[in-house]
A and B are shown apart, each in its own frame.
Chain A
Amino acid sequence: MPTLVSVYDLVSDTSNAVRSLKARGFDDLTTYSPAPFPELEEAEDPRPSNVRIFTLLGGLVGVVTGFGIQIWMSMDWPLKIAGKNYAAIPPMWIIGFELTILFGGVLTVLALFALGGLYPRPLDKHYSPRFSAEEFGVVVECDERDVAEVEAVMRGNGAKEVSLHA
C-alpha cells in the first residue's frame, strides 16, 4: 500500500493537516513530533488516554494491600502496643497512603510502556531523526487512487515536503 510522508515546520500546520486528513476518512495515519503538543494529540485522537485506568487500578490495589498487610500482620501475632487495638486503624493510614501512591505510580508507568509501545524494537520505516530535531511528520497509508488527494491535503496545510513510498 502506498505511504505518503509529509514534513512540517509548525505544529499548527501539522494539526490542521491531521484534522483535514481525518475529516476525509484517512484515519490510518501516524504523527511524529519533537515535543509534546496537546493540540496535535487532540487532532489525532481526542479520546482521553487509558493511562488513568491503570493509575486508578494501581491506587486501589495499593490501598487494599496497605491496609490488608497491616491488619493481617498485626493480627497474626497479636501484641498490645501503647494501649491501642491490635489492628488499630488510624496509624495504618500512613502506610496505606504510601502504598496507594507506590502502586498507583508503578502501574502508571507500566501503562506508559504498554500503551505507548515502549520496548526495545526496530524503529518505524518512515521515522527520521529530523522528527527528534524540530520538524513534524505525518505519515499516511492510503490506496493508490487516493495518493493525489492526500498529497493535496498535506501541501494545502503547509507541508514543506511530501514523499511517496511504496
Chain B
Amino acid sequence: MAPPPASAVADSMTAPAAPRDSQTNIDIMAVTKGFHWPWLIGLIIAVTGVGVAAGTLVYQTYVGLGIAGYQAPVFWGVYIITFVFWIGIGHAGTLISAILFLFRAKWRNAINRGAEAMTVFAVLTAALFPLIHIGRLWKFYFLLPYPNQRYLWVNFKSPLLWDVFAVNTYLTISLLFFLVGLIPDIAIARDRAVGWKKAVYTVLAGGWQGTGKQWKAHNRTVLHLSGIATPLVLSVHSIVSWDFAMSIVPGWHATIFAPYFVAGAIFGGFAMVINVMIPVRRIFKLERYITDYHFENMSRFILFTSLICGYAYGAEYFIAWYSGVEFEQTSFWLRAFGPYWFSTWCMIIFNVVMPQFLWIKKLRTNLPFLFVLCFFINLGMWFERYVIIITSLSREYIPAAWGLYIPSTTELIVLTGSFCWFSMFFLLFLKMFPIIAIAEVKELEIHDKEHH
C-alpha cells in the first residue's frame, strides 16, 4: 500500500512547543545583563588607574627612563619584575584549559572561561612591559626579526629574542583558545539578544548552530589546541627563566630555573584565579556553578606548587653553598641578610610558609581565608621576581660596582596601572561574554539528567 501524502501525516504530528530556555543559560547570561554597583565602582577605579599610569608613561617617554629607578648597576627593575609576574599569572588559564582538558578533569568546566580570559589579559599586560622598559616606545620593532639600516638581523642566539617569539606565540594561541571556546556561548547569547547586541553576537558567532559537523570540528580543534598548548605553556616560562639563567650573573646561572619558574607561574596563576573568582561568584551569585569543590581543587594545586617552590628555594641555597663558589655564596647570603632581606623573607613566608595551612581541609574551603592567603601569595610571587632580579644585579662580582636600587614613584604608578589595565579588561569582559563556559557546564548537566 502506498504511504499517505505528507500533508496527511503532518496533521498527526505535534506542533512545535514554545521554546523553553535552560536555567543554566538564564543564570550565566544574567551576569552580562542588568546593573551591578560593585562592577561599576571597580570599572571606574580601573579606568582611572589606567589613565594615571598612561599619563605617567607619556611623561616618562618625554623625559626619558631617568625618572624610573634605574641606576648603575641595576638596569632591570620594576618593569621587568612586573613583566615576569604577569606572564606567570597567565599560566593558570592554559593549565586549566589545556592540561586539565587532556586529563579529562571535568571540574575545570566552571572556571576555565574565567581563567582563560585572565590568561589573555595577563599576557596582554605583560607584553606591554618590555616596550615600557625599552623607553623609546617607537623603537619597538627592534624586537622583531627586521633588519636594521645595515641589513644586520636580530641575534637568534639571544634568550631575549626567544622570549619575543615565546610570548607572542603564547598570546596568539591563548587568544585563539579563548575565542574558540567562546563561539558556542556567543551563539547562545545571539539567540537571546535583541537589537544591536544581536547584530554583534550574530557576527561573532559566525553561523554557529551546534550541528554535528560543527561540534565535531570544534571538539577536535579544542583537543589539538590543548595538545599543542600544553608544551607551549611549559616552554614559555622556561624561556622567560632563560632570560636570567643563560647569563653568568650570580644567583641566575642555575639549571633549576626553568621548572622553578613554571611551578611558580602555576602557583601564582591559581592564586590570581581564586582572588578574582571569589568576588565574581559572590557579586553575580554564581554559587550554583562555582562551588567550594572548585576552590578546594585549586587550593590543592596551590599547595602542591608551593612545595615545589619551597624545594626550589632550598635547592638554590644548598647549591650555592655546596658549589663552593664564593660569588654564589655571597649572593645568596645577601639575599637573606643583605639590604633586600625584607623582600626575601616576604617571599619565603608568603609562598612557602603560609600555603602550608592548606593541609587543613576546612581552610581549603574557607573562602575569606583563601582570598586573603591568595592575596599574600600574589604579593609573595611579585617579591620572588624582585629578589631574583634586584639582589643579583645589585651585587655582582666586583664590590666596587655594587649599588642600591629603590623603585621610583613612576615605576610604582605604572605597576599599579598594570593591575588596573588587567582589571579593566576583565570587568568589560564580564559584561560582554559569559564568564562560565555554558556549553561545557550543560554537557555535565545533560549527562547527569540522563543518568538519573
Contacts and interface: CB of A to CB of B under 8 A. Distances in A.
A108 B156 contact: no
A105 B173 contact: yes
Contact of A163 (B14, B225, B231): B14
A82 interface: yes
Query: What interface size band does chain B fall in?
Result: 35 or more
Contacts of B155: 81
Interface of A: 2, 5, 7, 9-12, 30-38, 40-41, 44-45, 49, 51-52, 55, 59, 69-70, 73-74, 76-77, 79, 81-82, 84, 88, 91-92, 94-95, 97-99, 101-102, 104-106, 108-109, 111-113, 115-121, 123-124, 127-135, 144-149, 151, 160-164, 166
A131 B25 CA distance: 12
Given A69-B145, A123-B207, A116 B214 contact: yes
A73 B156 contact: yes
A77 B211 contact: no
Interface string B202-230: 11001111111111111111001100110
A44 B173 contact: no
B173 A101 contact: yes
B368 interface: no
B212 A112 contact: no
B156 A98 contact: no
Interface in B174-212: 176, 179-180, 183-184, 187-188, 191-192, 202-203, 206-212
A77 B224 CA distance: 38
B151 A133 contact: no
A131 B210 contact: yes
A135 B9 CA distance: 24
Interface string B412-448: 0000000000000000000000000001101101110
B13 A151 contact: yes
B221 A51 contact: yes
Given A76-B153, A101-B169, A112 B210 contact: no
Given A52-B220, A52-B224, A117 B213 contact: yes
B216 A41 contact: yes
B235 interface: yes
Nearest to A129: B191
Contact of B450 (A11, A44, A88, A164): A11
A133 B19 contact: yes
A116 B9 contact: no
Nearest to B191: A129
10 contacts: A11-B450, A34-B442, A45-B213, A55-B224, A79-B152, A98-B165, A116-B217, A120-B207, A163-B14, A164-B13
Contacts of B219: 36, 38, 41, 49
B180 A133 contact: no
A51 B188 CA distance: 24
A30 B147 contact: no
Contact of B221 (A102, A112, A120): A112
A163 B16 contact: yes
A104 B449 CA distance: 37
A77 B216 CA distance: 48
Contact of B215 (A33, A55, A101): A33
A145 B157 CA distance: 72
Given A73-B156, A101-B232, A105-B173, 11 more contacts: A9-B449, A35-B443, A36-B440, A76-B153, A98-B166, A102-B168, A105-B228, A106-B176, A109-B179, A111-B221, A164-B10
A40 B231 contact: no
B153 A74 contact: yes
Given A36-B219, A130-B19, A133-B20, A112 B180 contact: yes
B165 A94 contact: yes
B16 A113 contact: no
A44 B212 CA distance: 7
Contacts of A7: 16-17
B186 to A, nearest CB: 10
B372 interface: no
B185 to A, nearest CB: 9
A120 B4 CA distance: 40
A105 B25 CA distance: 30
B116 to A, nearest CB: 14
Task: From B218, B224, B447, name the one whose CB has the most chain A CB atoms within 10 angstroms.
Answer: B224
A141 B244 CA distance: 64
Contact of A162 (B13, B147, B187, B228): B13
